[in-house]
A and B are shown apart, each in its own frame.
Chain A
C-alpha cells in the first residue's frame, strides 16, 4: 500500500481495480473523463492491482487538479504476511463466517446481508488475517468445508485455493480502515474487489456507495477462469480428474458472485452503461428499483471536426481500435479480412493498439497472417491518435467476445465512421438503437454479427465498403445517434445530478 498523491481531502473516492491510472482503456478513460469533466468535485482514486510488475512504473495519466488523493495496493505481491503464530481462534466467529457463506450460496438475496460481518471490526479483530491463516478453528473450518463439498479433491490444491481466494479480503479490510475517512461518497466502477472495498467502507461509515458497472465483473471473471483453466496445471495428466479443476474454478466463481452480491446489496444507485448490462445485474441479484442506465458520452466537438478532413469517397480501410489480446478475438478479425480480401483485394485493415500485453497471443496472430497470406492487407500500428486515424477509416470494427460499452464505437460515430461489431455488451444498442423508441427509429449505423463469425463480419465489411448509399446512410445515423444520446455533456450532466442528489441525501440524513 502506497500513497502516491495527497494534496487535499477528496469529496468522492473512486476505488478501481486494474485500470486508471496504470492501464488505458474504457474504464480508465471513463474515470479520467469524469474527473476532468466535473472540476467542482475533488476526487480520490484507489488503485487495486495484481502485482507491481504487471503495470508500468509510472501512471499513464497526468493527474488533473481536482484529483487530490491517489493510493495504490498490489494484491498478490508477496508482502508482509502476518508473523506465524499458533492460535486457537473462536468457534463463534467462524459460525458467522458460515452464515456469510450460506448467504453467498443463496440463489436469491431474500435474506439480508448478515449484520455480524458488516463492520470492519469483524475482519480486523474477530477473524483477522492471522486467525484465518494460522488458527486451529480456521483449519477445522477448511477441513469441514472440504469434507462437505469437495472430499475427493486434491487437498493441497483445495487448501491453497481457499487461501488465495480469501487473502484479498483482509487486504481490502486493511485498506478500508485506512480509507474510511477519505471522501463523503464512494463511487466504484466495478463490483469485485473494488466493490467489496466500497461495501466495507460504506457499511463501516454509512457513506453512500454509488456503483457504476461497465462490463459485468462476475461474468468477466468467469471467462478469465475458464480460459486460464487450460493451462492451470503445467503437467497435463490424463489421469488427472478434470472435475477437480472445475470445482476449484467454481469456488472462485462463487466467491466473485458472492462479493458481487455484497456490492449489489449495499450500493445505491446501481448504474450500468446499457440495457443488457442492467438486466444482467438484476439477474446477479441487484434490486431492479435501484438500477439505472447512464451511457458513456464522447467529446463530439473535437471528433466532429475531423469529418471535414475526410477524403472523398469511402476509404477502403477497416480499423480495429483495441489491444491485441484474446478477449478482442483478433484472430477472427484476421480471418474476416482474408474473406473480405477475396472480394475487395485492395482492402486495408489497421489494428490500432498495443500488442505487448499478451505476447504469445500476438505472436499467434502474426503467424495466422502469414498462413492466410494477408500480410499486405493488415497493418499493426500500435498506439495512435484516433483523431488522425478515424478520418482515414471506412469502417470501425470490434470483434471482441466480451465488451461493456465500447467508447471507440461512439468515437467512431462522432467522427462519422460506421461500425461493424460482434454482438457483445452494448454494441447492438449502439448500432441499432437502445431501449429508447426514438433512438431505434434513427436506424442502423452499421452491422452487428454473431461472436467469432468471420464470414458474417466479412459480409458486413463488404456490404458497407462497396455500397456507397448504404455507407452514407449508416454514417448519418451514426452522427445523429451520438449527438443525441451519447454526448459528453449529457454524460457529465447526468453524473453531476447523481452526485448532487447523493450529497443532498447525505445532508438530509
Chain B
C-alpha cells in the first residue's frame, strides 16, 4: 500500500502555546513610583522651604543640599535604569519556573555589580562635578550615589516580589530617619544634610534587603552558591538588552527637560560645583508631580486587577481548547481593561486637575508663591497627566513583551523631550513647560495607537508568529 502512515496524534501533540506569563509589567510603573514619591518628598519640602523662607539664606544650604540630592537621585536612577528591567524580567522568568531559590543569590550578585559599577562611575563624576568642594564632600556624594543605586535595585525587586506594604513602610522609616538625622546634624551645614541622606537611605536599603531575605531565602538543594550572576551569564536565557536600554532611556528622558533648563542661560544658574538649578522651571513641575499620585494608584489597580486577569484568561482560553469566539471574547476583555484604565486615568486625573486649576491661586497664595508661575504650573499639570498615560502604555508594552516598541518609544521620549524643550526655551517664557507637555502629548497619542494595534493583532501574533 502506498502512502505515508502518518499519525494525527503525532502531529497534534505538543501543540500548545508556550505563553510565558510575564508578570513583570508593573516594573515600569514601580520603578518610577517610589522615585516620584521620594523626589516629591525631598523637593516638595526642600524647595518649598527655600521659597517659603523669605529671609534670604546667605549660604543657601538647603537649596544646595536639595540640588545635590536630586542630582544623585537622577544620575543613580539613570545608571541603575539599565539593570532594573532586565533584572526584574530575569526574576519574573525564574519565578515562573518556580526557581525561587535563585532570587537571593542573584540579588546579591546584582548588588555587588551595582556597587562596583557605581564606584567606577560615581568617583570621576563626583570629582568632575564638585571640583569646588572638599574631598570629604566628594566621598559623601559617591557614597550617596551608591546607596541610592542599591536602593533602586532592592526596591524594584521587593516591588516585583509584591512586598508592597513593606516597601511603603520602609520608605516612611527611611525618610523619617533622614529628617531626624538632618535635625541632629543641622550645625554641620550641607555635609550634615548629605550624611542624613546617606543614613536614611542606608536604613531603607537594609530594610528592603532584610525583607527580601526574609521572604525568599536562598537555601535549596539545587543551589549551593550564595552569590550568583545568572542575569548576565545567559545561564537561563539571554540578557534583555532592549529592556536595559529602554529603562535607562526612560530615566534619561524624564530628566532631560530639567537638565536643559538648568544649563540654559537666563533660566538656569549655578548652585553648587557644576550643578545648576532653574528657579523658573523646577518648582512648578515638581509641584505638578504631586498631582500624579491618585492617577498612579488607579492605574496600578487596573493593571493588576483588570488587565492581568483578562490577559491570563486569554491565554487560558487558548490552551484549554476554547472556541475562537471565546478567545476573541477574552481578547476584547483585555482591550476593554486597557480602555477602562486609560479612561479612568484621564477622568480621575482630569477631575483632580480641574480642582488644582481652580484652587491654584489659593495654593500659590498660601505658599506665598509668585503668580508668575501659574501658567507654567497649568501646563505642567497637563504634561504630568500625559506622562502618567504614557507610562501606563509603556507598562502594557512591557507586559505584552513588546520590548522593541518600548525601546523605540523611550528613545523617542528622550529625543522629543530634549528637542521640544530646547525649542520652548528659544520661543520665550510664555512657552516654558510646553516642550515637555507637547512631547508627552505626541508620545501618549501615538503610543496608544501602537498599543491598540498590538492588542487588535494579539491573537494573530500569538498564533501565527511564533
Q: Which residues of A contact B (CB under 8 A)?
A: 16-19, 25-27, 48-50, 54, 75-76, 84, 86, 133-136, 138-139, 143, 146-147, 151-161, 164, 189-190, 192-194, 214-215, 217, 220-221, 224-225, 228-229, 231-234, 248-249, 252, 327, 402-404
The distance in angstroms between the C-alpha atoms of A157 and B8, with both chains bound, is: 11
- B55 CB within 8 Å of chain A: no
Nearest CB in chain A to that of B17: its residue: A156
Minimum CB–CB distance from B324 to chain A (whole Å) comes to 4
Name the residue among B318, B323, B466 with the largest chain A CB count within 10 angstroms. B323
The distance in angstroms between the C-alpha atoms of A155 and B330, with both chains bound, is: 14
Instruction: Select one of A54, A147, A160 contacting B324, CB under 8 A.
Output: A147
Q: A151-B324, A151-B325, A156-B319 are in contact. Are A84 and B465 (CB under 8 A)?
A: yes
Q: Using an 8 Å CB-CB cutoff, how does the interface string of B113-143 with A read, 1 for contact, 0 for none?
A: 0000000000000000000000000000000
Instruction: Select one of B2, B319, B460 contacting A217, CB under 8 A.
Output: B2
Minimum CB–CB distance from A235 to chain B (whole Å) comes to 11
- B57 CB within 8 Å of chain A: no
Instruction: Select one of B4, B321, B459, B463 contacting A157, CB under 8 A.
Output: B321
The distance in angstroms between the C-alpha atoms of A296 and B2, with both chains bound, is: 15
The distance in angstroms between the C-alpha atoms of A146 and B6, with both chains bound, is: 24
Chain A contacts of B10 at CB under 8 A? 76
Q: Is the CB of A229 within 8 A of B8?
A: yes
- B322 CB within 8 Å of chain A: yes
Q: Is the CB of B4 within 8 A of A136?
A: no
Minimum CB–CB distance from A63 to chain B (whole Å) comes to 19
Minimum CB–CB distance from B45 to chain A (whole Å) comes to 50
- B355 CB within 8 Å of chain A: no
Q: Is the CB of B2 within 8 A of A160?
A: no
Chain A contacts of B463 at CB under 8 A? 139, 159
Contacts A50-B6, A156-B319, A215-B1 known; list 19 others, CB within 8 Å. A17-B3, A18-B3, A18-B4, A25-B1, A133-B464, A139-B460, A147-B325, A151-B324, A152-B323, A155-B327, A192-B4, A214-B1, A217-B2, A220-B1, A224-B3, A224-B6, A232-B9, A403-B1, A404-B1
Chain A contacts of B3 at CB under 8 A? 17-18, 190, 192, 215, 217, 220-221, 224
Q: Using an 8 Å CB-CB cutoff, how does the interface string of B321-342 with A read, 1 for contact, 0 for none?
A: 1111101000000000000000
Minimum CB–CB distance from A192 to chain B (whole Å) comes to 6
Q: Is the CB of A153 within 8 A of B8?
A: no
Minimum CB–CB distance from B231 to chain A (whole Å) comes to 27
Closest 9 CB pairs of A and B: A154-B321, A190-B2, A155-B324, A160-B15, A18-B4, A139-B460, A50-B4, A164-B11, A27-B2
Name the residue among B3, B5, B13, B465 with the largest chain A CB count within 10 angstroms. B3
Chain B contacts of A221 at CB under 8 A? 3
- B16 CB within 8 Å of chain A: yes
7 contacts between A and B (CB under 8 A): A18-B3, A48-B4, A157-B12, A190-B3, A224-B6, A249-B8, A404-B1
- B457 CB within 8 Å of chain A: yes
The distance in angstroms between the C-alpha atoms of A76 and B13, with both chains bound, is: 13
Q: Is the CB of A154 within 8 A of B1?
A: no
Instruction: Select one of B1, B5, B321, B324 contacting A143, CB under 8 A.
Output: B324
Minimum CB–CB distance from B466 to chain A (whole Å) comes to 7
Name the residue among B4, B323, B324, B460 with the largest chain A CB count within 10 angstroms. B4
The distance in angstroms between the C-alpha atoms of A49 and B327, with both chains bound, is: 36
Q: Is the CB of B464 within 8 A of A327?
A: no
Instruction: Select one of A50, A154, A231 contacting B9, CB under 8 A.
Output: A231
The distance in angstroms between the C-alpha atoms of A214 and B15, with both chains bound, is: 34
- B97 CB within 8 Å of chain A: no
Instruction: Select one of A139, A158, A225 contacting B8, CB under 8 A.
Output: A225
Chain A contacts of B5 at CB under 8 A? 18, 50, 54, 224
Q: A138-B464, A217-B2 are in contact. Are A156 and B16 (CB under 8 A)?
A: yes
Chain A contacts of B8 at CB under 8 A? 225, 228-229, 232, 248-249, 252
The distance in angstroms between the C-alpha atoms of A214 and B1, with both chains bound, is: 7
Minimum CB–CB distance from B19 to chain A (whole Å) comes to 12
Q: A18-B5, A327-B1 are in contact. Are A155 and B322 (CB under 8 A)?
A: yes
- B7 CB within 8 Å of chain A: yes
Chain B contacts of A160 at CB under 8 A? 11-12, 15
Nearest CB in chain B to that of A214: its residue: B2
The distance in angstroms between the C-alpha atoms of A503 and B384, with both chains bound, is: 82
Chain A contacts of B464 at CB under 8 A? 133-135, 138-139
Q: A139-B460, A164-B11 are in contact. Are A156 and B1 (CB under 8 A)?
A: no
Q: Is the CB of B12 within 8 A of A19?
A: no
Chain A contacts of B324 at CB under 8 A? 143, 146-147, 151, 155, 158
Chain B contacts of A225 at CB under 8 A? 8
Minimum CB–CB distance from A114 to chain B (whole Å) comes to 25
Chain A contacts of B459 at CB under 8 A? 139
Chain A contacts of B323 at CB under 8 A? 151-155
The distance in angstroms between the C-alpha atoms of A135 and B465, with both chains bound, is: 9
Minimum CB–CB distance from A292 to chain B (whole Å) comes to 19
Nearest CB in chain A to that of B461: its residue: A86
The distance in angstroms between the C-alpha atoms of A16 and B2, with both chains bound, is: 8
Nearest CB in chain A to that of B463: its residue: A159
The distance in angstroms between the C-alpha atoms of A135 and B9, with both chains bound, is: 27
Q: Is the CB of A228 within 8 A of B327?
A: no
Q: Is the CB of A17 within 8 A of B4?
A: yes
Minimum CB–CB distance from B252 to chain A (whole Å) comes to 30
Tell me the chain B residues, 435-465 only, with Cβ under 8 Å from chain A: 457, 459-461, 463-465
Chain B contacts of A136 at CB under 8 A? 457, 460
Nearest CB in chain B to that of A27: its residue: B2
The distance in angstroms between the C-alpha atoms of A402 and B2, with both chains bound, is: 12
Chain A contacts of B465 at CB under 8 A? 84, 86, 134
Instruction: Select one of B1, B6, B321 contacting A402, CB under 8 A.
Output: B1
Chain B contacts of A146 at CB under 8 A? 324
Chain B contacts of A84 at CB under 8 A? 465-466
Q: Is the CB of A154 within 8 A of B2?
A: no
Q: A84-B465, A160-B15 are in contact. Are A155 and B460 (CB under 8 A)?
A: no
Chain B contacts of A26 at CB under 8 A? 1
Q: Using an 8 Å CB-CB cutoff, how does the interface string of B4-45 with A read, 1 for contact, 0 for none?
A: 111111111101110000000000000000000000000000
Chain A contacts of B466 at CB under 8 A? 84
Tell me the chain B residues, 48-87 only, with Cβ under 8 Å from chain A: none
Nearest CB in chain A to that of B2: its residue: A190
Chain B contacts of A151 at CB under 8 A? 323-325
The distance in angstroms between the C-alpha atoms of A225 and B4, with both chains bound, is: 12
Chain A contacts of B15 at CB under 8 A? 156-157, 160
Chain B contacts of A224 at CB under 8 A? 3, 5-6
Chain A contacts of B4 at CB under 8 A? 17-18, 48-50, 75, 192-193
The distance in angstroms between the C-alpha atoms of A467 and B2, with both chains bound, is: 38
Minimum CB–CB distance from A135 to chain B (whole Å) comes to 8
The distance in angstroms between the C-alpha atoms of A103 and B460, with both chains bound, is: 27
Chain B contacts of A138 at CB under 8 A? 464
The distance in angstroms between the C-alpha atoms of A474 and B346, with both chains bound, is: 94
The distance in angstroms between the C-alpha atoms of A16 and B1, with both chains bound, is: 11
Minimum CB–CB distance from A364 to chain B (whole Å) comes to 18
Minimum CB–CB distance from A447 to chain B (whole Å) comes to 23
Tell me the chain B residues, 359-411 only, with Cβ under 8 Å from chain A: none
Minimum CB–CB distance from A506 to chain B (whole Å) comes to 26
Q: Using an 8 Å CB-CB cutoff, how does the interface string of B309-326 with A read, 1 for contact, 0 for none?
A: 000000000110111110
Minimum CB–CB distance from A52 to chain B (whole Å) comes to 13
Minimum CB–CB distance from B369 to chain A (whole Å) comes to 52
Minimum CB–CB distance from B30 to chain A (whole Å) comes to 31
Minimum CB–CB distance from B251 to chain A (whole Å) comes to 30
Q: Is the CB of B2 within 8 A of A156?
A: no
The distance in angstroms between the C-alpha atoms of A217 and B9, with both chains bound, is: 20
